[in-house]
Structure 1
Amino acid sequence: MNSNELQLLSVTLTEDIYGIDITKVQEIRALGKYRKLPNMPKYCVGVIDFRNSMVPVMDLREMFGYQHDKVSAQTVIVVMLVEHHTEQMLLGIVVDSVSDVIAVQQKDLRKSPNIGAKVNTSFIRGMFKHDDNIVVVLALDAILEADALTDIRALVKNEQISV
């Protein structure tokens, strides 16, 4: 891998393919037991115990507006190390499946199109064509900026919850 190449874990939400920077991925685990938290938005699934740390879990399917009535054997939580301002934090994301690692040259990464002021594209780092698919590369550090995560970050940081 050279410095101009980005290695991405490909994940799916329904039929759409997204890319996640592989260097941020800590573990891929089956969607198992998690602790729900009260008064959180639907996309804040809850927390899991990951190596003795409480890790918040976000359902990307819900966050991005996908229908997701069923959970399959391929539905997983991807645990990642993301940055929030100057600190690093573990975050789990629920996806329908993971596939493989895709290499893309930085020069092939395109900006997301201007969709309008009401559409939040802060989670999109860029996009590129792979085979016959458009892969959207996620900037998951931006998820931690969501207002709804302020309380869950505080709960996890203070470890006031038990799984």
Structure 2
Amino acid sequence: MAELAQYLTLGLAGETFGISIRNVREILDMRPIARLPHAPEFMLGMIDVRGSGYPILDLRLKLDLPAVAATEATRIIILDVPVGDRVVGVGFVADCVYEVTDIEESSLEQVPDVGGKWKSDYIAGIGRKGDRFVIIFDLARLMTATDASIGVVATPSNQLAA
């Protein structure tokens, strides 16, 4: 029997990405985001969700894609993201969310080796759903060491909200 894993599929710049459902806390409609001074460009700021503060990252900017204005389909996905030796609540802004889908683990393909350097270290594998490819995020690698300060930002906010 093939080992199936569930992924939340989302859209970014016309491509389909997947995040393991085990990491997903909730999906929210777009809402105002409080800006943080001197934050990296991809870090949009913070939001409050039931008394807890979450840093919000724009996945488009994180992946060096052009920024776009939010639409009615834009969503904030609150995730449990591994950052170093702990798990941090972080929100990712995506163009849209499609569905939770099953993908056969054994069918995940490795990132193609094209003989040159390209930013692919955030990809855990590439799955297929029908005739579409689903690029599966490796959240730990997506949140590189340069982003480790996110957890520090989230902690004081959580304490203030309490």
TM-score, normalised by the number of residues in structure 1: 0.87
Identical aligned pairs, as a percentage?
25
Does the 8 Å CA contact 1:155/1:161 hold for their aligned counterparts?
Answer: no
Does the 8 Å CA contact 1:61/1:95 hold for their aligned counterparts?
Answer: yes
Where does 1:143-162 land on structure 2 (aligned, <5 Å)? 143-147=142-146, 149-159=147-157
Deviates more, 1:107-116 or 1:149-158: 149-158
TM-superposed CA distance for 1:40, in Å, is: 1.6
TM-superposed CA distance for 1:129, in Å, is: 2.2
Separation in 1, partners of 2:88, 2:158: 16
Does the 8 Å CA contact 1:35/1:46 hold for their aligned counterparts?
Answer: yes
Does residue 1:85 correspond to 2:84, yes or no? Answer: yes
**What stretches of structure 2 of length at least 5 have no aligned partner?**
none
Deviates more, 1:112-121 or 1:62-71: 112-121
Cα-to-partner distance string for 1:66-88 (whole Å, 9 max, x where unaligned): 23332110001000112223321
TM-superposed CA distance for 1:135, in Å, is: 0.9
TM-score, normalised by the number of residues in structure 2: 0.88
TM-superposed CA distance for 1:9, in Å, is: 0.7
Cα-to-partner distance string for 1:80-122 (whole Å, 9 max, x where unaligned): 1122233211010000000111111111001111256642322
Moved over 3 A (4+): 115-118, 160-163
Does the 8 Å CA contact 1:10/1:99 hold for their aligned counterparts?
Answer: yes
Aligned to 2:35: 36
RMSD of aligned Cα (Å)? 2.3
**What stretches of structure 1 of length at least 5 have no aligned partner?**
none
| Count of matched residue pairs | 161
